[in-house]
Amino acid sequence: MSRYSHLIAVVAFVFTMILAAGLSSSTHPSYSDQVPVDTVPFYPDGTYDQSVPKPNDYLAHPIGEWPLRYNELVDYIEALAAGSDRVIVEKHGKTYEGRDLYAIIIGLPEYIADIETIREKTARLASANLNSSVELDALLADLPATAWMGYGIHGDEVSGVDGAVQLAYQLAAGTDSATMHLLRNVVVIIDPTQNPDGRERYMSMLLTYRSHVPNYDREAQQHGGVWPWGRGNHYLFDMNRDWVVVTQPETEGRLSTLLKWNPQLMVDGHEMGSSDNFLFSPPRQPVNYNTPQSVFKWWEVVSRDQAQAFDKRGWPYYVKEWHEHWYPGYGSSWLTFSGGIGVLYEQAGVDGSMVRQPNGYVLTYHEAVNHQFTSSLANLHTLANNRTEILRDYYNTRRDIIRQGEKSGLTYLFAPIKDDLKMNRFIESLLKQGIKVEKATADFTVRGVRDIMLNEHASQKFPAGTYIVRTSQIQGGLAKAILEFDPHLKLDFLKEERRELEKYDETRMYEVSAWSVPVAYNLDAYETTTMFSVATEPVTAIEPKVGKLYNPDAQFGFVIDMVGERTYLMLNKLFGKELVIYASEKRFTVEGRSFNAGALVVRKRGNVENLPAILEKMAAEIGLDIYGVNTGLATEGSYLGAPTFRLLIGPKVALLTGMPLDFSDFGAIWYAIDRELAIPHSLIQLSELAWHDLAKFNVIVIPSAWGQALGHYMGKEGASALAKWVEDGGTLICTGNAAIWAADSSNNLSQVRLKCDMLDKLGEYKELTDREIRAEAPTVDTMALWHPDKVAPLESKDEKQPPASKEELKKIDEWQRRFFPRGTILRVDLDTEDWLAFGMTKSVPAIVYTRSALMAGEDVKTVGRFSVDETKLRLSGLLWPEARQRWAGTAYLTREYKGGGQIIMFLGTPNLRAYFQGTRQMLANAILYGPGMGSWSGGPYEQKD
């Protein structure tokens, strides 16, 4: 930068500061006729190839004046690729709303002309499998480093996308020495908008509320949208939590690009609250243990260079503070586990115009964009200036990951399960992240394994078809980070966290403390460090399964087993054909074949004549076998005409939406209903519940809500309408805070109660719980039964200590609530004889993030209860002893009758981020089986005598 250019920049910056100071003295809280204009140039001393298309020639507003729209972005990057020999554009996916996802690849013309060779050389480096150090040196001599720059993964964080366009232009057209130095050393891949659906939704809101009169009140509607804003994609997923579970197409597209190009630097540009300034890496503790040491080294270098770039402009910034690196599913985390440098930006958001910050400074959108652009250039220059050393560290780190895996022997094993569609979904998520998976071709035995319930097994037999993931691979660090069942936080951080909780009732945890993907899926999964031998084959794709109809000419009817996901898909299809379907409450055996509780029976009597043809087509499409039977006579269990085979009723579903519902929980449930299960449904605004004809529906789902405002938004009329609908025969499903709202005694809806309201009756609840546990495995004293004269009489109980007062119990409870589980995976024990647990194992992992615990009395069926045994309650994550005591034995999943209907309540979010497949299965049971299984036996709404 020349001295003259630097002076211009400083003068412009000072002018902006003076103007901001003048505005801060304004008497009006949100307006001044003096509109601040940030004149600080993006690149003060830049020289450019004038033949390259300029952004402002293609955008409705100059960069930094107003956020660009998706169509403007596409028009410009296509023009840039056509007008510059430094640029090529690739598509790597499509969103649910049909928008293409792009990667802009930028490099010197000679690099672009031979880009495939550079990609192949980078892949050789990334393989960590070169023959010698001489070969490595030769490869590093002329290989450019690769950077992936991603922006706008949260659609309502808008400045990064505009900064990405300015960056693309700078790299495509810049001719100054600094830019050319950068391009000689780096190939840059820009993902300009990772979430175009969310951005376009939010941009429409900003445009709707944009006023002619300038406004800089950061709390005004002009600087925000309305529920559900634009953070999530079409199904409102927070895609910066989707990296390690890969449920959304945008994530799959990004990962395909990253695995294709193997970048050494990965930047993820975000925004935060408008009263802040700018945060970047490195993070503070806790940092995931699978982060290689080389990443820590380069975080410091990147941070130093980025700070220098901001110091030149006088811009404030900070690092660490609230930004931690424990959860592995962030964009700034994913690459680090395989040796790349992940960098996070958090820019104070201004939503396209300007805001007055608490210190009086007026932050413009232009400056926000400039921060993103300047940071990106600073990071790229760090990569360019240290190209050889970073490439060498990248290679060595990836080689070390393989060696560490070989040394530890750490391996994960996933035994086949009936719910193969769930298993397929899980394995595909690993393959999409480049994790190598093998499949055993023979039976084998492994010594010394641990399962997801943390049970140790001295020896475990595994069948052929077991999936195997070894950490002795390039993605071994990533595999361990997302698969390990129970990583423990370090003592230093635990002391810090404990101090924060005890002193301030605050936490240092930014995210959930547990996330293990196989635990969330509730797989038959194991981890071991014992060496074993078995013949395997590599898994590169999941082959689709084709089901078959056996005995299509059966006399009695057809049976479909309960296997999980495929059964749900089949049941929904059968409902669509308006067939008469029964479900078995219990296991049964007919014609030598056993079927699980929840199996479907479609009798020929009462159904259409072409029933076999319909079922044959469904079996093939869904991949589920259907068995024709000639008799209803069961050799085990009930006969097929018994009352234990319940007539099912097709669900007519309403999913509530709108404020103050948690759009993430809403989105995950919506995704399950709409995309995964394909159940017809209506979305209804919570605040308009009282004015809807609820009689059209037999299932209403209320997702979790923020805070305690659900009742306020629903209103008394809405709550009354909902209660009457339940009493008339509806199935109400509440999750998370919606369940907590329903349990509030002031609502008079559910008989479930909040533990904090029932402290003086905990003894009664404990007695009921103990009785339920004894009923599962009762003991019979035959001597006492048949020969009471020979048994000593029962002794009277010892006198107990007087119970604590209600005030004392309240103080204890308040203290325990302070240590509530924050995204901790707990063990839930199920009553597997209940229809809500169809297809489930005896225990299931559930994630919990709440201060509230639920208690259920005798008139409520507790289908899922947190383990009574405190030593078995915690499966993964942080659970303080106080929380262990408070939540042990409390209710997770309840079901109760109310009039002719029923209320089903989940304490947590059963379908969190669409990968907690274990608890999600009970949600599917509630929706698909609920209207039939939860009704009185005489009919859908007919009460028993």
- pLDDT, tens digit (0-9, with 9 covering 90-100), for 204-228: 999 999 988 888 888 888 888 899 9
What is the percent of the chain where pLDDT is above 70?
94
The residue count of the chain comes to 945
Does the pLDDT at position 36 exceed 60? yes
The pLDDT assigned to 28 comes to 62
DSSP state of 675: I
CA distances from 444 to 459, 463, 533, 535 (A): 11, 6, 8, 9
- pLDDT, tens digit (0-9, with 9 covering 90-100), for 427-467: 999 999 999 999 999 999 999 999 999 999 999 999 999 99
Contact 505, 384 (CB under 8 A): no
Does the pLDDT at position 649 exceed 70? yes
Q: Which of 216-230, 315-329, 596-610, 787-801 has the lowest mean pLDDT?
A: 787-801
DSSP state of 636: B
Q: Buried b vs exposed e over 459-472: b needs ≥16 C-beta within 10 Å?
A: ebebeeebbbbbbb
- Give residues with Cβ within 8 angstroms of 605, minimum separation 6: 557
- Is the Cα dihedral 113, 114, 119, 125 positive or negative? negative
What is the rounded distance in angstroms from the CA atom of residue 428 to the CA atom of residue 540?
9
Q: Would you state the structure tokens that stand for residue 276, as one six-digit string?
A: 């802040």
What is the rounded distance in angstroms from the CA atom of residue 815 to the CA atom of residue 900?
40
Closest by alpha carbon to 177, among 45, 317, 28? 45
| Residue keyed to tokens 């020896």 | 459
| Residue keyed to tokens 């006023």 | 211
What is the rounded distance in angstroms from the CA atom of residue 439 to the CA atom of residue 418?
17
Helix (H, G, I), strand (E, B) or coil at 741: helix
What angle (nearest 5°) sits at the alpha carbon of residue 408, between those of residues 436 and 486? 80
- pLDDT, tens digit (0-9, with 9 covering 90-100), for 553-575: 999 999 999 999 999 999 999 99
The pLDDT assigned to 795 comes to 58
Helix (H, G, I), strand (E, B) or coil at 338: helix
Q: Would you state the structure tokens that stand for residue 546, as one six-digit string?
A: 């084709």
Q: What's the pLDDT band for 30 if we cut at 50, 70, 90?
A: low
Count Cβ atoms within 10 A of the Cβ of residue 659 and give its class: 0-12 exposed, 13-18 middle, 19 or more buried.
Answer: middle
Contact 168, 376 (CB under 8 A): no
Does the pLDDT at position 29 exceed 70? no
- pLDDT, tens digit (0-9, with 9 covering 90-100), for 681-704: 999 999 999 999 999 999 999 999
What is the rounded distance in angstroms from the CA atom of residue 452 to the CA atom of residue 691?
47
Contact 652, 684 (CB under 8 A): no
Q: What's the pLDDT band for 19 if we cut at 50, 70, 90?
A: very low
H or E segment at 163? helix 159-173
Q: Which of 480-494, 741-755, 804-818, 852-866 has the lowest mean pLDDT?
A: 804-818
Beta bridge partners of 190: 104, 149
Does the pLDDT at position 16 exceed 50? no
Does the pLDDT at position 13 exceed 50? no
| Residue keyed to tokens 């409390």 | 890
Q: Which of 337-341, 835-839, 930-934 has the lowest mean pLDDT?
A: 930-934
Amino acid at the residue 273: G
Q: What's the pLDDT band for 774 if we cut at 50, 70, 90?
A: confident
Could you tell me the pTM of the whole model?
Answer: 0.93
What is the rounded distance in angstroms from the CA atom of residue 120 to the CA atom of residue 91?
19
The pLDDT assigned to 4 comes to 34
Does the pLDDT at position 93 exceed 70? yes
Q: What's the pLDDT band for 935 if we cut at 50, 70, 90?
A: low
* First-last CA distance in the chain: 89
Does the pLDDT at position 24 exceed 50? no
Mean pLDDT of the chain: 92
- Is the Cα dihedral 781, 785, 790, 791 positive or negative? positive
Query: What mean pLDDT is predicted for residues 869-886?
Result: 94
What is the rounded distance in angstroms from the CA atom of residue 772 to the CA atom of residue 758?
19
Amino acid at the residue 412: Y
Count Cβ atoms within 10 A of the Cβ of residue 796 and give its class: 0-12 exposed, 13-18 middle, 19 or more buried.
Answer: exposed
Q: Which of 62-76, 454-468, 926-940 has the lowest mean pLDDT?
A: 926-940
Contact 392, 140 (CB under 8 A): yes
Q: Can you point out the beta strands (E) in 622-726?
A: 626-629, 645-647, 653-657, 681-685, 699-702
The pLDDT assigned to 945 comes to 35
Q: Buried b vs exposed e over 370-384: b needs ≥16 C-beta within 10 Å?
A: bbbbbbbbbbbbbbb
Does the pLDDT at position 803 exceed 70? no
Q: Would you state the structure tokens that stand for residue 452, as one six-digit string?
A: 């997801």
Query: What mean pLDDT is predicted for residues 26-32?
Result: 57
